[in-house]
Every structure is written in structure tokens, then in C-alpha cells.
Structure 1
Amino acid sequence: MTDRSGQVWDELVELMGEIERDWGREARAMPTADERAEARIFALNSLQHALEFWSQADPARPWFYRWFSPTKKLLGDNPDAIYYGSVIDPERDYVIRGNLAGAVYTSFTVEVGTAGGGMSKALGATLNDDEIKVGSDGSYELHLSQNPQPDNWLALTPESGSVTTRHYFEWDRPAATDPNMHVPLSIEPTVDPGPPPIPDDEACALGLQRVITFLRSVTVDWPTGPRDIPLDWVSSEPNRFTNPPLDEGNRAIGYAAADNAYRSTRYELGPDEALEIRGRFPNCRFANVVLNNRFIQTPPYRQRRVSLNRRQTVLEPDGSFRMILAHRDPGVPNWLDTAGAPTGTVFWRYLLPDEQPTQLETQVLSVDDL
């Protein structure tokens, strides 16, 4: 007798071995034990998320799961934000209820192509708090359906598979480090499906298959680079930023935010080198800079300053800023701690900017000369 769930369990075990072998490919460019260990930690975080989010996903009885935490990072986590996600069935109608809870920005995005654990292929409908009728107490109610609704409508299409939420905070400390942080949020179908059945062999197999699908999509099926697609805001030159015109990009990038203008470059620094970044914040709803590794994960941020939002940034007398990436404390304001990583990614978010950001100017300096 062969259990279907047992077969899929074995497939998950086989995938773990395939992932391990994949790290050794020359195209992955991970020749050292520490680099491969970083990859395994990323795979563990991805498996953790897949098990939490996908193993018992039920679009008939949806639930908002928190995407990221200081110990679960993937797909470009942000220390200043709380994210949630839920699976949905585009043939059903739903109601989302929640509260802004003091966030400087709240949004909801329908992900396309995520049914069954697949990677988001593009952004569907989006709503931010400027586009939602919000009560005086910060409460709101959204309607999800294929049929148009008069207010607070998040449109579904046959390709809709999940909903992602974003709640940004500009605090003195990263909001994601607060263990008591809670954003009121719920999602319910408009037609009650009744209580679920006890999971059987087939249900277990389907859950494991969704875990496999997601885990594979962010590991062995992932491009050789974390964003190996042409993006004008990603610099091809280390330690330098591009400054493309504002547009309505991002919608073709799964799990991106439609309202963000991004800037990104790879930093490369020797043991005693620092990267100086000078610029100005544009007029926008929220802005921050975050350090990432090659897997778009933040370094440990509970004890290290690996990001800076506007509130945390010390400005120059003329309103500009000077930030310093370095492996050790240079003794000047706005230090971004690389945690000793000789290379990584510097990732900017400008949320709902109403003016073109200025060019970010950079130079590599000696830490001792700062």
C-alpha cells in the first residue's frame, strides 16, 4: 500500500537534496563554505515560510499569515514594515476588515499566478490607504470579487491566487522587531463554507505539493541572481546607483509594491573601506534604505543597524543626508552596519514620491579617513 502523501513527502526530501546540489553549480558562484551556509539558511527560511503559509492553505477558509520576522526573511523583507498574506480563490468573494493601526502607509495587492504555491508572476489589483474609505478610528472594510463593487473594491481575475498586505512604519526602531506589534486584520468569504473536514491522505499530499512548488520556485528555479531580469533601477556597476525617471513599473514583478520607486546597487568593500552615500529624500510618504544579502534577505537587525528610515536619519544642515556603509563603527552618524559582509545589496524604497528623486552620489573611502 502506497500513501499519496508519503510519496510527496519523499519528493520534498528529494528536493532538499536537489537544492543542496544546486548551490555547488558554478553559475551560483558560491565557492566558500560560508557562502553555501548563507544559501542553506535562506532555504531554511523559505521552507519555514512554505510550511506556515502553504502546507494547510485553504482559500475557502482564508487566514492572514505574517510573511516576515527577524527570524524568517525572504523576497526582500523590510525591518520597517509588517507584511501579511492570504491565499484566495478567484471564484469566491471575500471581505477584509482591519485598522491602519498607526501605519504611515497601508496597501493590499492581489498576486497573479500564486495558486498552488507558485511564485507571483505579476501584480493584479492594488489599493492603498489613499484609495480606501477609512473610518475616523482607522478602520476599513474591503471587498474582493470579480464582480465590481461600489467602494473599496479589490478586483479579482481568474489568475488571482493570493493577497499581500503592507503596513509601513517610520519609527525610531524597526517595527518588525516589536514582539507586541499587531495589525488588526481579517479575511472571510462572503459565503460561509462551514467547518473544514479532518485532513486526509489527499489533503496532506496537496499541502506538501504546495510546499514543494513554492520552495522550488525560490531556490533551484530561481535565476542565478536575485533579480536576474532587466530593471532600470538596478545598477550594473557596484557601489553606484542609477536614477531612472519615475514610472508605473513594478507591476510585472511578483511581490513588488506598485507604489514604490526603487533604487538598488551591489556594494563591494574591502576590510577597511566604507561606502559614502549622499543624497536627499524626495517628498514622499515613506523612505528607507535597507541592506540585503544575495538572496534579498536583511542581515540580523535586532542588534545591528542595517536600515535607515527618514526618522532615524540625521540630516546635514542643508537637509541632505550622508550615510556610511562600513564593517565597523566609523564614529559618524548614519552608519549602516554590513556585519562584516564584503558584498551585498543596498536597496532603497521611496513610497509614493511626487517628485523625481535626486541622484544618489557615492564614493568609496577609507574608514580611518571618515
Structure 2
Amino acid sequence: MTVQTASRSALRDLINLLEEIDERWAGPEWNLHSPEDVAAAHRSLMHVLEGGLATMFENDVAYPQFRRIVTPWRKFTGDNGDAIYFDAPVSADYEYRVRGQINGAVYVSITVEMGTEDGSMASKTAGVINDTQFDVDANGWFELRLGGEPAERNWLPLPEGASRITTRHYFEHKQCGAGDPALEPALYIDAINPERAPAVPNDQSIAEGIKRVAGFVRSRTLGMPPMANVEKQPAFVALTPNQFPKPVVPGDFGLSAFDAHYSMAPYYLEPHQALVITGRWPICRFGSLDLWTRHQQTYDYCNRTVSLNRAQTQLEPDGSFKMILAHEDPGLPNWIDTEGRVLGLMFWRFFLVEGEVETPQAEVVELASLR
């Protein structure tokens, strides 16, 4: 006779969820109609499942650990080829000490997320501290306190409902930083006086871990309606192909950074076409354009030029840029490789902007005309 446990029940629920995702999310209900579309959905699902197992299954707010969120082989929810992200569970019931390395990043921050207790995607960004607000020693190390008594520097409050923190390290190198193992920063987090011993895994805690994994997977699949079906998009998101909205600060939108300006639009290019993108980099700490699949996964930044940051961009004599999005190399500077994907997403990020951000302009041309 099969032994019935809470963990077995949670596992069955996870298996049923995966079947539902396969039947609904990887199909026409989410505007996926071709074998290639379905295969891409399954790849995305495997990445999301790995992300849930890596970051959500084992969780203890009294004894948290930083886990890397996305990697070159685990991508979801709009990663970036120049950024390394970590997260850790927290609670307003505790005070924490965070130590870490800048490791040459041009921008470093920690944001407080809410609504992640059950593994779901953050519902709100509740606070942020960046490297202009904390002290960094000569060797690139910093130490912060989260929660507890307020302080003028090196401190970030944890409001009621805070459940997770996300760290961001952005790099502007010729090689994409997320694909360089040497750039992965050292990060440590400890609860100050946790007042209890670490929990020993048991049936209930294992079941809760499986449920968090399921919540993580559900929120990033069935919980994410197709872009075309969303009545109200954030101001930085456009639905019209090949046309960027004005870059704006996202506010407290879940998983967003208060310090950033964002702009996102889909592209659509036939094999014989190219998209010429012109504009100027603003005065900022970091700026880049990344390509994503419709499932918000970056393209292969380890082996192809599928994004451009400021250090990778060759400027025109007047300081402007001209980027070329195309399926084949046009033989000109600033080519961004679409990997032959006719449809994809383009996402701009600008951090700690001074002044206005000029909206990049885009024009579809014949690829042959560029040669």
C-alpha cells in the first residue's frame, strides 16, 4: 500500500500542474501554434522549473542563503546578459547582515520584494538600496544591515510583508558579464540573533517546499497571460512591433528596479529585412539593449552578439549610435544577431539616469540595402 504523506500530495499537485501547463500554456491558448513554438515553451518551462527548485525548494528566513537566480543555462522573467542576480528569503520579523563584493560592477543594488512567500512572482518592489547609498572599501567589499533600527547609510528597511531580496550586479564589458564565471560576486546573508536552531527537514517542510516550487512555476507560466491578451500594459511596454515606447521609471511593478528606466517592444523581421535602431546613450551608470524570446529568455549571449551595452557599442562621429538588428551579419558595426528568429522582444535598461532619456528610433529596411 502506498504511504500517504503531505510531500506525496504536494508532488502529485506539481505533476498535475506540469500537465496543465503542457496542455494549456504550451498551445493555442497562449498563441503557440507551431511545433517550434511548443518546443520553445517546453524549453522555457524546464528553465523555470530548475529556477524554482534552485531558489524556492529549500527556504528558511532565519537561515537564508543567496542563490543565483538566472544563468546562461537557466533563463526566465527577462534576464540580462550583462547582469548577475541573486536572491534570498527574508522576513520583517528578523534583522539581517549582508556582506558582498562589488567585483567591478558599474551598478549594484538590493531590492525588497513582496508577495513571494508561496513561490509566486513578486507582486511589488517595496524598497531599494544602491551602491551610492552604502560604503564600499578599497577592495570592493560592502556590509549592509536590513531591517531593525534605522540608519542614515548602509541600511535598508524591511516593511511588513517583505519576503525576498534581490541583488543586481551590472557590468559593462566587451564580453557579457553574465557569461563570465570570474565576475560572479561573493555574497553572504545572516539573520542577527535568529533565536532558533535551523529547521530539520520533515514531511511538512518538504511539502511546503514543493508547493513553493509549484507556485514559482505557475506564476511564470499560467500566471503570465500572452502580451497581446493583456488589456493594460506597463507604460514601458509596447505591443506595436519595431516601435519603442518612451523609456520610463517602472515604479513598484513586481521585480522592477526603482533606479531604472525601461523600454520594451516586440520586433518582427522577415528574412530579407533588418531593423536599424538609432539614438543616444543617456548619462547613466549602465545602459543596454537585450533580445528576448516571447518567453522573456535572453538569446545566446555567450556565443553570439545578441545584446549591446555601452562598452560594446561603436558610436557615430556625433556621439549617437546606429544598431542593426538582422538575421545575418550586414558587415557593419553594432550588429545584433536575431538567431534567425522572425519574432522576439527588445528590452532597454538604463540605470541611475541623469536628465532625460531619448527614445530610440527604429526603421525596417531591406537587408540588401545595408550592404
**Band of TM-score, shorter chain:** over 0.9
> Is residue 2:39 matched to residue 1:37?
yes
> Is residue 2:205 matched to residue 1:203?
yes
Q: Is the alpha carbon distance of 1:227 and 1:348 closer, same or farther for their aligned partners in structure 2, counting shifts above 3 Å?
A: farther
Per-residue Cα deviation, 1:65-116 (whole angstroms, up to 9, x for no partner) = 0111110001110010111000112201100011211110100000011113
Alignment of 1:285-364 (within 5 A): 285-364=285-364
Q: CA deviation at 1:236?
A: 3.0
> Is residue 2:270 matched to residue 1:231?
no
Q: Is the alpha carbon distance of 1:24 and 1:48 closer, same or farther for their aligned partners in structure 2, counting shifts above 3 Å?
A: closer
Runs of 4+, deviation exceeding 3 Å: 24-27, 192-195, 226-229
Q: CA deviation at 1:199?
A: 1.3
Q: Which runs of 5+ in 1 are unaligned?
A: none
Q: CA deviation at 1:192?
A: 4.2
Q: CA deviation at 1:23?
A: 2.6
**Between Structure 1 and Structure 2, how many residues are aligned?**
367
Question: Is the Cα–Cα contact under 8 Å of residues 328 and 337 in structure 1 kept in the other structure?
Answer: yes
Q: CA deviation at 1:158?
A: 1.6
Q: TM-score, normalised by structure 2?
A: 0.95
Distance 2:87 2:287 in 1: 23
Give the structure 2 partner of residue 188 of structure 1: 190
Distance 2:74 2:27 in 1: 25
Q: CA deviation at 1:61?
A: 0.6
More deviation, 47-56/135-144: 135-144
> Is residue 2:178 matched to residue 1:156?
no
Question: Is the Cα–Cα contact under 8 Å of residues 26 and 41 in structure 2 kept in the other structure?
Answer: no
- Give the secondary-structure state (helix, strand or coil) at the position aligned to 1:234: coil
Give the structure 1 partner of residue 246 of structure 2: 243
> Is residue 2:105 matched to residue 1:103?
yes
More deviation, 264-273/142-151: 142-151
Q: Which runs of 5+ in 2 are unaligned?
A: none
The one-letter amino acid paired with 1:8 is A
Q: Is the alpha carbon distance of 1:216 and 1:227 closer, same or farther for their aligned partners in structure 2, counting shifts above 3 Å?
A: same
Distance 2:128 2:147 in 1: 13
Distance 2:69 2:107 in 1: 17
Q: CA deviation at 1:125?
A: 1.4
Give the structure 1 partner of residue 80 of structure 2: 78
Q: CA deviation at 1:227?
A: 9.8
Question: Is the Cα–Cα contact under 8 Å of residues 234 and 250 in structure 2 kept in the other structure?
Answer: no
Give the structure 2 partner of residue 127 of structure 1: 129
- Give the secondary-structure state (helix, strand or coil) at the position aligned to 1:356: coil
Alignment of 1:276-287 (within 5 A): 276-287=276-287
Question: Is the Cα–Cα contact under 8 Å of residues 78 and 298 in structure 1 kept in the other structure?
Answer: yes
Q: CA deviation at 1:202?
A: 1.1
The one-letter amino acid paired with 1:242 is P
Question: Is the Cα–Cα contact under 8 Å of residues 226 and 294 in structure 1 kept in the other structure?
Answer: no
Question: Is the Cα–Cα contact under 8 Å of residues 144 and 156 in structure 1 kept in the other structure?
Answer: yes
More deviation, 357-366/315-324: 357-366
Distance 2:26 2:245 in 1: 32
Q: CA deviation at 1:197?
A: 4.0
Q: CA deviation at 1:195?
A: 4.8
Per-residue Cα deviation, 1:32-75 (whole angstroms, up to 9, x for no partner) = 01101111111111100100111111111100001111100011
Question: Is the Cα–Cα contact under 8 Å of residues 91 and 161 in structure 2 kept in the other structure?
Answer: no
Per-residue Cα deviation, 1:253-297 (whole angstroms, up to 9, x for no partner) = 111111111111110000110000011101111101000111111
Give the structure 2 partner of residue 22 of structure 1: 24
- Give the secondary-structure state (helix, strand or coil) at the position aligned to 1:369: helix
Give the structure 2 partner of residue 3 of structure 1: 5
Let me know the Cα RMSD of the aligned residues. 1.6
Q: CA deviation at 1:180?
A: 2.8
Q: Is the alpha carbon distance of 1:150 and 1:283 closer, same or farther for their aligned partners in structure 2, counting shifts above 3 Å?
A: closer
Give the structure 2 partner of residue 257 of structure 1: 257
The one-letter amino acid paired with 2:313 is T
Question: Is the Cα–Cα contact under 8 Å of residues 113 and 255 in structure 2 kept in the other structure?
Answer: yes
